[in-house]
Chains A and B, each alone.
Chain A
Amino acid sequence: MPSLFSGINVALRSLMAQQEAMTVIEHNVANANTPGYHRQEAVLSASIPSSQAMTFGSGSVGQFGTGVMIEKIQRFAQNFMDVRYRETVSESSRWTLQSDILSQVESVLSETSKDGLTTKLDQFWNSWQALSGDPTNPTLKATVLSNAQSLASAINQRSGSLYQLRYDQNLTFKQSADEVNDIASQIATLNEEISHAQSINQAPNDLLDKRDQLLDRLSELTGAVSFLQENGEVIVSINGHALVNGHSTFKLVVDSNQPMAAVKWEDGQTFTASTGEMAALLDVRDGVIVDMTNALDNLAYNLVQAVNQIHNPDPATAPSDPPYAAAGMDFFQPLTTVTGAAGSLKVNPAMETLSNIMGASAAYPGNGDIALSIANLRSATQTALDGMSFNSFYTKSVASLALETKNAEAYASNAKNVAGAIKTSRDSYSGVSLDEEAANMIKTQRAYQAAARMVNVMDEMLDTIINGMGLVGR
């Protein structure tokens, strides 16, 4: 039979257990808004019973309960939900970033506004056409010059902004690679701490939260996937290449020697993010922006070639008939390569002297065929521009950019919805509900009060024995 003193012990255990459970509730309430926090619960169970011999007679009555104890602090996390969430959030952040950058590219080109590049091109052609009607008129020549200059500077400016955007993405890409390395080291350290805690049977709940958050961020960045091991450690890999394995990491190396940084694994293999922000950055940096820059370069280079060929014909190939009889000067400064043409496009400064602008050759001042031929380039198809005219080539380029932007926006909004739904289910399981915590708090508080009362009762019972049973010995 248990002693009266052991009764006090049972009550004491209860007091302690309820107090600890209350601490867990406090922890939950405190972290109700903490991102990545998974709610915890003190799991109570009856403590190990004691077998007691019968007081009278032989045999045993069985086991007496010894009260309550905290079996473990449970953390509400579902691994499959985390994996699913990371899959969707990596897609969502990839397309969100991609559509953000693409709209920046689009606004750089600002084609819907009145002074878009197509309008500048039109004005350029129109001024040549006007000059063809009166080839020696200095006012018309001045219009040609100023329209040409504003066309050139519009192309320069767009090319410059595209380069700036590309440079920005490059910088973010490098920073992201650093962030990946940093996260990898943190995960490796956490792996070590977690496996150690688990080996001595402790639940490293808050460390797990921290690691989960890092894994979330890692999949936003790169679409990394993780595999949970028996010992509580995770193996992380990006597109099939290990990033973290146990306590060791495989770092990314940024090669900044080139203008556009290349990122490799430290073992020399090429790094490719399967999805996530880094995939978006690389896609835009080396895909979309380069395509658009190339299109502008192509446009500028061929514009210079075509206009100069008419304004300053090669004597060997020019027809001897008027209007080509006398050679002029290059209207645009000649360009040698297509690459960078949009950046260096410039009207020949000699054209500031208006008499150098040839609407007609000097010998035939009335014949505006030079100006007219240049004006007619408006609709002339260019082999180098996939058989399109200047205007339609540019329209096609910006339209295909717009289409990509629109698609990226659609993907982003779909992926965001899916990720949002999964996040909701994850929160539904792991998040803190204040109502629940309040109810648990009352429950725990009452149990604590009851245990305290039990101590009181036990005390009175002892009092009966000690002080109420006669005066022998006093």
Chain B
Amino acid sequence: MRITNTMMTDSAIRYMNESKERLVEYQEMVSSGKAFQKMSDDPSRAAAAMGLRSSLNTNEAYTNTAENVSDWMSANETAFSSIVDLMTRARNLVLQGQSDTLSAKERTALGTELASIVHNAVDVVNSSVNGRFLFGGYQTGKVPFTMDPAGTAVTYNGDNGVMTQEIGPGQSILINFPGNSTFAEMFNAMIKARDDLLNNNSANLETRLSELASATATVTTIRTTNSTRLNQVTTGLDSLEKAKIEIKSLLSKKEDANLAEAISYLSNQESVYQTVLEVSQRAISSMNLFDVIG
């Protein structure tokens, strides 16, 4: 083949460019730590990585929700636990009041104690998390239970709304128990028992006891439901955490460069480029006949 000077220069330039392009590619890979810089470097892997990153973001949102739900339901549990204590104390007071040896004055004293328990119970069922009341149904901004100044009745200000939260795709959980169906029976029983004690109606106390027992059963059943759901949330949080680790490792497989490989390619390419430069230098500045003839 007849070789002309332009051919030599052209191909030297082309080889330098190609070699430098590869050099830059490896440099980017090593310095960014990513297997591809643009989507078009590897469209299918990049698309998969986009999907995974999106799943990771979603996972984060679900984790936040699940943590908040867990806080809320733990607060439920705390409230239930105090309520059950108060109810036990109320039941003990009524049991004491049944004793025939008690004078009217002593019964009134028991009634006064029960009255303060009712006050305590109102405080407990009005618990809130982050300024939102636990037992008002959808009416999280209103105090759920109020007692009239005379203490004759406890009024429910909430509604029957049951709130749903999602702690996973399609995995929704009911987080609250409207106070009406949960505690109305209890307040009713307590207030009646208090009044009977205050008014020395010892004959009614047997009925009050069974009412209190029934109210306790209602609260306990609901408390169990809450614990079961809280368990679900805890399990959900665990699996969210596991999924997060798994997605992260998949994502890393998709988009992270194999650094050991990339670095060795890079240093190899560096020496290739060096050689290309030296060869090109000779090709471009090569002597021709004009240099040697006199």
Q: Which residue of B lies closest to A425 (CB)?
A: B1
The reply to whether B40 and A432 contact each other, CB–CB distance below 8 Å, is no
Q: How large is the interface on A (under 10, 10 to 19, 20 to 34, 35 or more residues)?
A: 35 or more
The reply to whether A431 and B61 contact each other, CB–CB distance below 8 Å, is no
Q: Which residue of B lies closest to A105 (CB)?
A: B40
What are 7 A-B pairs at a CB distance below 8 A?
A106-B40, A118-B50, A122-B54, A378-B58, A402-B46, A424-B11, A431-B4
- Complex: A396 Cα to B44 Cα, angstroms: 10
The reply to whether A129 and B293 contact each other, CB–CB distance below 8 Å, is no
- Besides A33-B5, A372-B165, 6 other CB < 8 A contacts? A130-B64, A136-B132, A366-B137, A424-B11, A431-B5, A432-B5
Give the number of residues in B that approach A within 8 Å (Cβ atoms): 55
The reply to whether B53 and A133 contact each other, CB–CB distance below 8 Å, is no
Q: Check: A43 CB closer than 8 A to any chain B CB.
A: no
The reply to whether B163 and A438 contact each other, CB–CB distance below 8 Å, is no
The reply to whether A132 and B165 contact each other, CB–CB distance below 8 Å, is yes
Q: Which of B2, B50, B132 contacts A429 (CB 8 A)?
A: B2
- Complex: A368 Cα to B161 Cα, angstroms: 11
- Complex: A119 Cα to B58 Cα, angstroms: 10
What chain A residues lie within 8 Å of B51 (beta carbons)?
Answer: 391-392, 395
Q: Check: A103 CB closer than 8 A to any chain B CB.
A: yes
The reply to whether A403 and B50 contact each other, CB–CB distance below 8 Å, is no
- Complex: A378 Cα to B14 Cα, angstroms: 49
What chain A residues lie within 8 Å of B41 (beta carbons)?
Answer: 406
Known: A126-B58, A129-B65, A136-B140. A434 touches B165 (CB 8 A): no
The reply to whether A434 and B161 contact each other, CB–CB distance below 8 Å, is no
Which of A111, A322, A439 lies at the interface centre, i.e. has the most chain B CB atoms within 10 A of its CB?
A: A111
Q: Check: A420 CB closer than 8 A to any chain B CB.
A: yes
The reply to whether B69 and A428 contact each other, CB–CB distance below 8 Å, is no
Could you say which of B31-39, B86-94, B245-253 contacts chain A? B31-39
Q: Check: B169 CB closer than 8 A to any chain A CB.
A: yes
- Complex: A17 Cα to B14 Cα, angstroms: 41
- Complex: A112 Cα to B33 Cα, angstroms: 13
- Complex: A68 Cα to B11 Cα, angstroms: 40
The reply to whether A366 and B163 contact each other, CB–CB distance below 8 Å, is yes
CB B254 to nearest CB in A, in angstroms, measures 11
**Contacting residues of chain B (147-173) with chain A, CB-CB under 8 angstroms:** 159, 161, 163-166, 169
The reply to whether B138 and A364 contact each other, CB–CB distance below 8 Å, is yes
Q: Which of B39, B44, B164, B290 contacts A112 (CB 8 A)?
A: B39
Which of B36, B57, B165 lies at the interface centre, i.e. has the most chain A CB atoms within 10 A of its CB?
A: B57
Q: Check: A399 CB closer than 8 A to any chain B CB.
A: yes
Q: Which of B38, B65, B288, B293 contacts A103 (CB 8 A)?
A: B38
Which of A103, A134, A366 lies at the interface centre, i.e. has the most chain B CB atoms within 10 A of its CB?
A: A366
Q: Check: B102 CB closer than 8 A to any chain A CB.
A: no
Instruction: Give residues in A with beta carbon < 8 Å to B.
Output: 32-33, 102-103, 106-107, 111-112, 116, 118-119, 121-123, 125-126, 129-130, 132-134, 136-137, 322, 360, 363-369, 372, 375-376, 378-379, 391-392, 395-396, 398-399, 401-403, 405-406, 409, 420, 423-424, 427-429, 431-435, 438-439, 442
Which of B49, B136, B138 lies at the interface centre, i.e. has the most chain A CB atoms within 10 A of its CB?
A: B138
Q: Check: B280 CB closer than 8 A to any chain A CB.
A: no
The reply to whether B39 and A402 contact each other, CB–CB distance below 8 Å, is yes
The reply to whether B40 and A402 contact each other, CB–CB distance below 8 Å, is yes
Q: Check: B47 CB closer than 8 A to any chain A CB.
A: yes
Q: Which of B14, B58, B138 contacts A420 (CB 8 A)?
A: B14
What chain A residues lie within 8 Å of B64 (beta carbons)?
Answer: 126, 129-130, 133
- Complex: A420 Cα to B1 Cα, angstroms: 16
What chain B residues lie within 8 Å of A137 (beta carbons)?
Answer: 130
Q: Which residue of B lies closest to A369 (CB)?
A: B164
What chain B residues lie within 8 Å of A130 (beta carbons)?
Answer: 61, 64-65
- Complex: A103 Cα to B43 Cα, angstroms: 13
The reply to whether A129 and B166 contact each other, CB–CB distance below 8 Å, is yes
The reply to whether B57 and A122 contact each other, CB–CB distance below 8 Å, is yes
The reply to whether A118 and B53 contact each other, CB–CB distance below 8 Å, is yes
Q: Which residue of B lies closest to A107 (CB)?
A: B38
Q: Check: B260 CB closer than 8 A to any chain A CB.
A: no
CB A120 to nearest CB in B, in angstroms, measures 10
Known: A126-B60, A399-B46. A428 touches B4 (CB 8 A): yes
What chain A residues lie within 8 Å of B11 (beta carbons)?
Answer: 424
Q: Check: B99 CB closer than 8 A to any chain A CB.
A: no
CB A353 to nearest CB in B, in angstroms, measures 18
What chain A residues lie within 8 Å of B3 (beta carbons)?
Answer: 428, 433
The reply to whether B58 and A122 contact each other, CB–CB distance below 8 Å, is yes
Q: Which of B7, B50, B176, B288 contacts A366 (CB 8 A)?
A: B176
What chain A residues lie within 8 Å of B176 (beta carbons)?
Answer: 366
Q: Which residue of B lies closest to A389 (CB)?
A: B54
Q: Which of A123, A363, A366, A396 contacts B57 (CB 8 A)?
A: A123
CB A435 to nearest CB in B, in angstroms, measures 5
- Complex: A121 Cα to B34 Cα, angstroms: 23
What chain A residues lie within 8 Å of B43 (beta carbons)?
Answer: 399, 402-403, 406
The reply to whether A112 and B37 contact each other, CB–CB distance below 8 Å, is yes
What chain A residues lie within 8 Å of B57 (beta carbons)?
Answer: 119, 122-123, 126
CB A446 to nearest CB in B, in angstroms, measures 11
